[in-house]
Amino acid sequence: MILRRRRSALYMPASNPRAIAKARSLACDVVILDLEDAVAPDEKAAARDRVVAEIGTGGFGSRELVVRINALDTPWGADDIAALRGLGVDAVLVPKISGAVDLAAVRAALGTDGPPIWAMIETCGGVLELPGIARAAAGSRLTALIAGTNDLAKELRCRPGVDRTPLIPALMAIVTAARAAGLVALDGVCNALDDAKRLAAEAEQGAGLGYDGKTLIHPAQLAAANTAFGPTPDQLAWARTIVDAFADGATADKGAIRLNGEMVERLHLAEAEAMLAQADQPEG
- The CATH number assigned to the domain holding 187 equals 3.20.20.60
Mean pLDDT of the chain: 92
Residue 2 lies in a domain: no
Please indicate, yes or no, whether residues 123 and 242 belong to a single structural domain of this protein. Answer: no
Position 3 in a domain:
no
- Helices 222-229, 196-209: crossing angle, 10 deg rounding: 30
Separation CA 239–CA 236 (nearest Å)? 5
Among 234, 221, 224, 218, smallest CA distance to 204 is for 224
In a domain, 1, yes or no: no
Q: Do 67 and 138 lie in a common domain?
A: yes
**Within 13 Å of residue 216, how many CA atoms lie on the same side as its CB?**
28
pLDDT tens for residues 222-234?
A: 999 999 998 766 7
Residues 266 and 195 reside in one and the same domain:
no
pTM: 0.88
Same-domain pairing of 216 and 263: no
pLDDT band at 86 (very low <50, low <70, confident <90, very high): confident
In a shared domain, residues 167 and 257: no
β-pairing verdict for 262-265 and 256-259: antiparallel
Rounded Cα distance between 44 and 33, Å, is 12
Percent of the chain with pLDDT over 70: 95
Output b/e per residue, 57-84; b: 16+ Cβ within 10 A: eeebeebbbbbbbbbbebebbebbbebb
One domain for residues 148 and 271: no
Q: Please compute the mean of the pLDDT values over residues 251-263 and round it to a whole number.
A: 80
Specify if 136 maps to a domain: yes
CB count within 10 Å of CB 94 equals 28
4 in a known ligand binding site: no
Q: What is the pLDDT of residues 163-219, one digit of tens each?
A: 999 999 999 999 999 999 999 999 999 999 999 999 999 999 999 999 999 999 999
Mean pLDDT of 60-70: 96
Q: Is the dihedral of CA 217, 29, 62, 137 positive or negative?
A: negative
Same domain, 85 and 100: yes
- Please indicate, yes or no, whether residues 154 and 258 belong to a single structural domain of this protein: no
Contact 142, 157 (CB under 8 A): no
| 51, 130: one domain | yes
Give a yes or no: residue 75 inside a domain.
yes
Structural domain including 66 reads 8-229
68 known member of a binding site: yes
Q: What does the pLDDT read at residue 255?
A: 81
Give percent above pLDDT 90 in the chain: 77
**Residue 1: what pLDDT?**
44
* Residues 77 and 193 reside in one and the same domain: yes
Into how many domains does the chain fold?
A: 2
Q: Which amino acid is at 134?
A: A
Counting beta carbons within 10 angstroms of the beta carbon of residue 43, is it exposed (0 to 12), middle (13 to 18) or buried (19 or more)? middle
Q: Is 283 annotated as a binding residue?
A: no
* Last residue in a domain, options 189, 212, 229: 229
Asked if residue 215 and residue 94 are part of one domain, the reply reads: yes
pLDDT, average across residues 135-141: 98
Q: What is the pLDDT of residue 284?
A: 65
82-86, 249-253, 271-275: which is most confident: 82-86
170 and 113 share one domain: yes
Mutual orientation of helices 100-110 and 77-84 as an angle, nearest 10°? 50
Domain edge (last residue) among 190, 214, 229? 229
pLDDT over 50 at 256, yes or no: yes
Q: Please tell me the distance from the alpha carbon of residue 109 to that of residue 274, in angstroms, as a whole number.
A: 35
